[in-house]
Amino acid sequence: MKLAAIDIGSNAARLLICEVRENGNDSPEFQKLNLVRVPLRLGFDVFEFRQVSYAREEMLVDTIKAFKLLMDVHQVDFMTACATSAMRDASNGPEIIERIKNETGVNIHIISGDTEAEYIYGTRLMERNIPAKSFLYIDVGGGSTEITLFENGELVYKSSHNIGTIRILKNQVSDDQWNIMKADIRKLVKNKTGKMVAIGSGGNINKVFSLSKRKEDKPLYLDTLKDYYKELSSVTVAERIRLYKLKEDRADVIVPALLIYINVLKWAEIEEIYVPKIGLADGLIRNLYSRITGKKP
């Protein structure tokens, strides 16, 4: 069975195509066949002007048309699509969604921050290899940050904050918003006695992990994130592109992303963070599989 997921984020749109193989009583194997990322940067319009510009709307429609062709070529059996923070805030979001449905047949759901968190952390792949009982998941996007806590396999807390990399670049995050997130996280860890492990997702933390050249099952340390923040903040975006071989649409957002991860870890009193290669698209694929088969992925 071939499944596909489209994730329309504030910085980029992604198409993930997977083949699912069932192995008897074992958990199904999700093999990635194709992953395409297009840097639409919808948040640069929405978080400043509250709507998607005509130019970016055309780019988005063309992107979905291209994704549809790729799914047809791969002979995808089932697909799902969602949009997150930028489209949630865009005054013309519903009209664009309707246009895409009419022109491509792709039905895109605009999901809440809480639902986004559920999809992302529904995978929970990393926990199987870490000896701990409490896991704090941190997903940083262009428009929002999702925080989720699992204890003994149970979801005990989830929240979404409108603190994202593009919002920070556009000076759209207030001190009050930072203070609310800080208070929420400190309240979360106030009565904690056992070890809490952080797990990070998002393109920026994955890029930092890649730059660090750490082994896949090893964590990044808070001090390492602070070093990268200081290092990357001290040079221009153009120099980040040249020195660190970053794409332009990564070079500007990586610094505010590091700031968010550093603050969350500091407030949660956690010194290290694991970085599995998971994202919203992975969670969407697994949720789609569960809805189709009635089985847990």
pLDDT of residue 234: 97
pLDDT digits (tens, 9 = 90+) for 72-130: 999 999 999 999 999 999 999 999 999 999 999 999 999 988 888 778 776 655 555 66
The residue ranges of every structural domain in the chain are 2-113+281-293, 126-278
Tokens of residue 116, six digits: 């986004």
pLDDT digits (tens, 9 = 90+) for 254-272: 999 999 999 999 999 999 9
**Which of helix, strand or coil describes residue 198?**
strand
Q: Measure the CA–CA gap between 186 and 190, rounded to whole angstroms.
A: 6
190 phi and psi, to 5 degrees? -55, -45
pLDDT (mean) for 160-176: 95
Fold of 2-113+281-293: Nucleotidyltransferase; domain 5 (3.30.420)
β-partners of residue 199 are 137, 274
Could you tell me the strand order of the sheet in which 220-221 lies?
A: 154-161, 145-151, 134-140, 196-201, 272-274, 220-221
Q: Select 126-278's CATH number: 1.20.120.1200, 3.30.420.150, 3.60.20.40, 3.40.109.10.
A: 3.30.420.150
pLDDT of residue 129: 62
pLDDT of residue 22: 84
pLDDT of residue 238: 97
pLDDT (mean) for 129-148: 86
